[in-house]
Amino acid sequence: MDNGELVADNIVIGMIRNMMEAHNEAPGFIFDGFPRTEAQAQALDEMLNAKSEPIVAMLSLEVPEEEVVKRLLERGKTSGRVDDQEEATARKRITVYARETSPLKDYYKAQGKYKAIDGVGSLADITARLVKAIG
């Protein structure tokens, strides 16, 4: 993660499975940043379909690359996260995203669950777009 790579699928899937089992009584879940790969998406589908609780929607905040880099570097300053303090690492993350996570758009589009949301603007504006998309 410090080098801009993703955590291995089996580790992430296991963590999600454990959290879902620990909160079995929850009426639903919102996943932020998961799934990040098609293998993770397939595993999530299997877990949720086994509970007869399929994914309803995949919301994707669409933000230009330069804005993403700017946000990551700012987060590195304010959070102290080492993995967000180097521009090269931020740009590598974007490359990894394009290679491994961006294909999920097609995966969820094929299921009619993908919703692109403009992720630029004020927090209030972006929140309103998200609420409208899930409303």
* Domains within the chain, CATH numbers bracketed: 9-134 (3.40.50.300)
Amino acid at 107: Y
Q: What is the pLDDT along the chain (135 residues), one digit of tens a residue?
A: 566 667 889 999 999 999 999 998 888 888 888 998 999 999 999 999 998 889 989 999 999 999 999 999 999 989 888 888 889 988 998 998 898 888 999 999 999 999 999 999 999 999 999 999 988
pTM value is: 0.80
In terms of C-beta density within 10 A (0-12 exposed, 13-18 middle, 19 or more buried), how is residue 122 classed?
exposed
Instruction: Provide the 3-class DSSP secondary structure of residue 39.
Output: helix
